[in-house]
Amino acid sequence: MKYDFDIIIDRKNTNSIKYDFAREKLIPKDILPLWVADMDFKTAPAIINRLKNTVEYGIYGYSDSKEDYYIAVSNWYEKHFGYKIKKSWIVKTPGVVFAIAMVIRALTNVGDGVLIQNPVYYPFSDVIRENERVLVNNSLVRNGNKYEIDFEDFERKIIENNVKLFILCSPHNPVGRVWKKWELKKLGDICIKHNVYVLSDEIHSDFVYPGYKHTMFNTLSEAYEKISITCTAPSKSFNLAGVQISNIIIPNIEIRKKIKKEIAKVGYSSVGIMGIVACQAAYEEGEEWLNELKQYIYSNLGYLRNYLEDNIPEIELVEPEGTYLVWLDCSKLGISGKKLEEFIIHKAGLWLDVGYIFGKEGDNYIRVNIACPKSILDKALNRLEKAVRELKNEIK
Dist CA 154 CA 179 (whole Å):
15
Distance CA 65, CA 276 (A): 6
pLDDT given for residue 157 in this prediction: 99
Cβ-based neighbours of 303, under 8 Å, separated by 6 or more: 374, 377, 378
Judged against a pLDDT cut of 80, whether residue 25 lies above it is answered with: no
Q: Tell me what percent of the residues of the chain surpass a pLDDT of 70.
A: 99
Query: Residue 361: its pLDDT value, please?
Result: 98
Is the separation of the CB atoms in 321 and 333 below 8 Å?
Answer: no
Q: What is the 3-state secondary structure (H, E, C) of the chain?
A: CCCCCCCCCCCCCCCCHHHHCCHHHCCCCCCEECCCCCCCCCCCHHHHHHHHHHHHHCCCCCCCCCHHHHHHHHHHHHHHHCCCCCHHHEEEECCHHHHHHHHHHHHCCCCCEEEECCCCCCHHHHHHHHCCCEEEECCCEEECCEEECCHHHHHHHHHHCCEEEEEEECCCCCCCCCCCHHHHHHHHHHHHHCCCEEEEECCCCCCECCCCCCCCHHHCCHHHHHHEEEEECCHHHHCCHHHCCEEEECCCHHHHHHHHHHHHHCCCCCCCHHHHHHHHHHHHHCHHHHHHHHHHHHHHHHHHHHHHHHHCCCCEEECCCECCEEEEECHHHCCCHHHHHHHHHHHCCEECEEHHHHCHHHCCEEEEECCCCHHHHHHHHHHHHHHHHHHHHHHC
pLDDT in tens, 274-285: 999 999 999 999
Instruction: Give the per-residue pLDDT at 21.
Output: 87
Give the mean pLDDT of the chain.
97
∠ CA 50-53-55, nearest 5°, is 110
* pLDDT band (50, 70, 90) for residue 396: low
DSSP strand pairing (197-201 vs 163-169):
parallel
In the chain the domains, ranked by start, together with CATH numbers, are 17-44+287-395 (3.90.1150.10), 47-285 (3.40.640.10)
Q: Please tell me the predicted confidence (pLDDT) of residue 22.
A: 77
pLDDT digits 0-9 by tens, 348-359: 999 999 999 999
- What was the pLDDT predicted at 196? 99
Per-residue pLDDT for 114 more than 70?
yes
Average pLDDT (263-269) is 95
